């Protein structure tokens, strides 16, 4: 009889386990990157800096970017505003020069860099598990962080392996998110097989680096984009000349989506200002509405605009003020004169000159991202004066 009773309770337990409602079972979720269209990405750094053990100030840096999705590629324009401040003195941001970057993002968050100029600094981070997971479960994945501790333009790529934990579900700015933690160690420049080898293309003076990171991440359930990352940092960088630099503080990453632009309003404004379509054409692009200013009149081999262009820029500014919440990509182009390096430099200067003139007309300077193409993107035959005049242009894209 005792044996029958044991069998009876075993059957009841098994049956009850089968019919338990889903709320009593560990829910599993699949986290993956699905793409999110055009977006802005900001890296905000607030780190206390110590040189050879002595506090030298608070390093505040903001890397901003506008990233355009083009089929399976992401085409980004990054720009950097950086300062080390003491006594709370700050400078205002101004017109920004673009740093191009092109990359792919796989469904698990893994990056493949196509054009690499040092940005973004976090790559393949966060990285997602291949299998479904439940709250409390962990996984590990490899990522890369790009550093330039001395701000010399010498970028060093440091691989790291992060341990992730799925903490909970939440809502961030009205969006349903997964909350995930990530922890990892900075280990660079050590010779043992267990450590990360040196970056042969990195800063040759950087000898080694150590440190720790602890981050909390909010991941959009819909797109898989990391909407916000807050990373607590404690790192040390050692140089071959004996210098040591320590950083302690936070790095925050933000993904946002640009405001929609009333394209009809912009086109109506162009017509209202009587800007001839042949001289100021407007076209739709993946990055947003693009306004081209053809045959710009500068002093020869200079970025100084002729007085005759002032009225046209007044009208262009009036049009752009209809998208005052947007950012603007200003791209300079020159005619070909057989001097590629000079053409590139001049095209950047002319893009900045136009942005500067527009900022005098009521558009905040920090809204402009400037880029030069030299004579690499002609739109007309460069062998004729008429064609050269068309190629000598500046394009302004209202980013959205």
**In CATH, 263-399 is 1.10.3720.10:** no
Query: What DSSP line would sit under 193-214, residue for residue?
Result: TTSPPP-TTS-TTEEEEEEEEE
Q: Which residue reads 């901003």 in tokens?
A: 64
Q: Which residue ranges make up each domain of the chain?
A: 28-256, 263-399
Are 58 and 247 in contact by the 8 Å Cβ rule? The answer is no
From the list 131, 140, 162, 180, the residue with the least C-alpha distance to 29 is 131
Report the C-alpha gap between 385 and 390 in whole angstroms: 9
Are 227 and 219 in contact by the 8 Å Cβ rule? The answer is yes
> For residue 251, how far is the Cα from the chain centroid?
14
Report the C-alpha gap between 255 and 223 in whole angstroms: 11
Report the C-alpha gap between 188 and 190 in whole angstroms: 6
From the list 67, 95, 61, 151, the residue with the least C-alpha distance to 371 is 95
| Residue 239 tokens, joined | 């140089």
Q: Which residues of 294-309 are buried (b: 16+ CB within 10 A; e: fewer)?
A: bebebeeeebebeeeb
Q: Say how many CA atoms lie within 13 Å of 314 toward its Cβ.
A: 7
Report the C-alpha gap between 60 and 83 in whole angstroms: 5
The alpha helices in the chain, defined as continuous H runs, are: 2-19, 263-272, 310-320, 340-359, 385-391
Instruction: Assign 18 to helix, strand or coil.
Output: helix
Pairing of strands 133-134, 39-51: unpaired
Q: Which residue reads 């909390």 in tokens?
A: 216
Q: Which pTM does this prediction carry? A: 0.84
CATH second-level architecture of 28-256?
Roll (2.30)
pLDDT value at residue 370: 95
Report the C-alpha gap between 179 and 219 in whole angstroms: 6
Give the pLDDT of the chain (400 residues) as one tens digit per residue: 554 444 444 444 443 444 444 444 467 999 999 987 899 999 999 999 999 999 999 988 899 999 999 888 999 999 987 554 554 444 445 788 899 999 999 999 999 999 999 999 999 999 999 999 999 999 999 999 999 999 899 999 999 999 999 999 999 999 999 999 999 999 999 765 455 667 889 999 999 999 999 999 999 999 999 999 999 999 999 999 999 999 999 999 999 998 889 999 999 999 999 999 989 999 999 999 999 999 889 998 899 999 999 999 999 999 999 998 899 999 999 999 889 999 999 999 999 999 999 999 999 998 999 999 999 999 999 889 889 889 999 999 999 8
pLDDT value at residue 14: 43
> What region, left, alpha or beta, does residue 242 occupy, with left being phi > 0 and alpha being psi -120 to 50 degrees?
left
């Amino acid at each position: 009889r005792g044996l029958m009773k044991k069998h009876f309770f075993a059957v009841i337990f098994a049956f009850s386990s089968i019919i338990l409602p889903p709320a009593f079972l560990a829910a599993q979720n699949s986290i993956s990157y699905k793409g999110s269209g055009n977006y802005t990405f900001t890296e905000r750094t607030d780190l206390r800096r110590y040189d050879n053990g002595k506090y030298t100030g608070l390093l505040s840096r903001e890397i901003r970017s506008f990233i355009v999705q083009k089929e399976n590629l992401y085409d980004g324009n990054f720009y950097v505003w950086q300062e080390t401040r003491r006594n709370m003195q700050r400078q205002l941001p101004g017109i920004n020069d673009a740093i191009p970057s092109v990359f792919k993002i796989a469904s698990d968050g893994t990056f493949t860099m196509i054009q690499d100029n040092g940005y973004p600094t976090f790559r393949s981070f966060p990285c997602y598990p291949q299998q479904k997971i439940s709250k409390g479960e962990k996984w590990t994945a490899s990522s890369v962080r790009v550093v330039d501790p001395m701000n010399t333009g010498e970028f060093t790529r440091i691989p790291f392996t992060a341990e992730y934990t799925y903490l909970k579900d939440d809502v961030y700015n009205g969006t349903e998110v997964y909350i995930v933690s990530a922890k990892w160690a900075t280990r660079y420049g050590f010779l043992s097989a267990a450590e990360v080898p040196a970056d042969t293309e990195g800063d040759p003076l950087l000898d080694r680096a150590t440190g720790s990171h602890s981050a909390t991440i909010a991941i959009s359930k819909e797109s898989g984009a990391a909407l916000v990352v807050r990373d607590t940092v404690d790192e040390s960088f050692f140089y071959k000349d004996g210098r040591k630099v320590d950083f302690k503080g936070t790095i925050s990453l933000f993904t946002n989506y640009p405001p929609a632009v009333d394209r009809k309003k912009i086109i109506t404004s162009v017509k209202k200002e009587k800007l001839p379509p042949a001289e100021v054409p407007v076209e739709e692009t993946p990055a947003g509405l693009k306004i081209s200013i053809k045959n710009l009149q500068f002093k020869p081999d200079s970025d100084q605009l002729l007085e005759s262009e002032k009225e046209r820029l007044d009208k262009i500014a009036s049009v752009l003020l209809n998208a005052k919440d947007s950012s603007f990509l200003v791209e300079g182009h020159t005619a070909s004169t057989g001097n590629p390096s000079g053409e590139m430099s001049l095209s950047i200067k002319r893009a900045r000159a136009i942005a500067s003139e527009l900022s005098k007309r009521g558009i905040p300077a920090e809204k402009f991202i400037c880029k030069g193409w030299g004579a690499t993107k002609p739109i007309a035959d460069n062998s004729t004066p008429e064609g050269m005049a068309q190629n000598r242009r500046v394009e302004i894209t209202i980013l959205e």
